[in-house]
Amino acid sequence: MKFKKLSIVLGIITIISIAQLGLLGTGLKMMVLGTSKAEQPTGAISHQLGVPNRIRIDKVQVDLPVVAQPLNNGTWAVEDGVANYAQGTGVIGSEYGNVGIFAHDRVNGFHTIKDLAMGDQIILYGDNFQAIYQVEAKSVITPQNVDVFAPTASDELTLVTCDGLFSEKRYMVKAKLAEVLTNGEVD
């Protein structure tokens, strides 16, 4: 009988802990990154190509549509079966980079990005471009590490998914832009 009561108490504590961590919801909690355009690095890029509408990572069999998610009350919604572009993060072709994309840690999401290695390719597609990135870093971070989507001085891509037994951590992949193909160059 004591073990049954202990199991119930532990179950309740686990549910409360998960709820406090924000893991029962379907949103990626991030604080608004307070960087104004005046604070962002400047450069001579003549135009922005836009946001991606598809991501492909051949090495780990990821091929997903990308949908834009607006930041609402400090949270980006996380849709199932797609990669989610964090509106307000970098745009392909801008001088300052850091395109932020996230997905659930599921088979129809980013579960396999944990198998990427340094130098592996990640391709983002848009209506008029194909941006090829190469993996440069991978790490496990806490959900409170909100600067992962902050603007950078170079063109970067940040992929994020959940990690840990109760999805209490985040798994992050950082990649640098290697090449952009536009219009007739895109396959």
Say how many domains are in the chain. 1
Residues 6+ apart with CB under 8 A from 93: 45, 47, 48, 49, 50, 129, 180
What is the separation, in whole angstroms, between the first and last Cα of the chain? Answer: 65
Q: In which band, very low, low, confident or very high, does the pLDDT at 56 lie, cut at 50, 70 and 90?
A: very high
Q: How much of the chain, in percent, has pLDDT values that exceed 90?
A: 58
Distance from C-alpha of 80 to C-alpha of 77, rounded to nearest angstrom: 10
Report which of residues 88 and 186 the model is more confident about: 88
pLDDT of residue 6: 41
DSSP string, 89-152: S--BT-SSB-EEEE--SSTTTTGGGGG--TT-EEEEE-SSEEEEEEEEEEEEE-TT-GGGGS-B
Q: Please check the confidence at residue 18 and state whether its pLDDT lies above 50.
A: no
Mean pLDDT of 3-24: 40
In a domain, residue 1? The reply is no
Q: Please check the confidence at residue 44 and state whether its pLDDT lies above 50.
A: no
In a domain, residue 15? The reply is no
Distances (CA, A) of 1 to 8, 11, 14, 15, 138: 11, 15, 20, 21, 46
Residues 6+ apart with CB under 8 A from 164: 140
pLDDT of residue 28: 57
In a domain, residue 10? The reply is no
In a domain, residue 94? The reply is yes
Q: In which band, very low, low, confident or very high, does the pLDDT at 140 lie, cut at 50, 70 and 90?
A: very high
Element (H, E) at 7: helix 2-20
DSSP string, 99-115: EEEE--SSTTTTGGGGG
In a domain, residue 21? The reply is no
Q: Please check the confidence at residue 12 and state whether its pLDDT lies above 60.
A: no
Distance from C-alpha of 121 to C-alpha of 89, rounded to nearest angstrom: 21
Q: Please check the confidence at residue 75 and state whether its pLDDT lies above 80.
A: yes
pLDDT in tens, 81-119: 999 999 999 998 776 689 999 999 999 999 999 999 999
What is the residue range of 57's domain? 26-185
Mean pLDDT of 122-145: 95
In a domain, residue 44? The reply is yes
Q: Are strands 169-182 and 121-125 parallel, antiparallel or unpaired?
A: unpaired
Question: Domain containing 69 — which CATH number?
Answer: 2.40.260.10
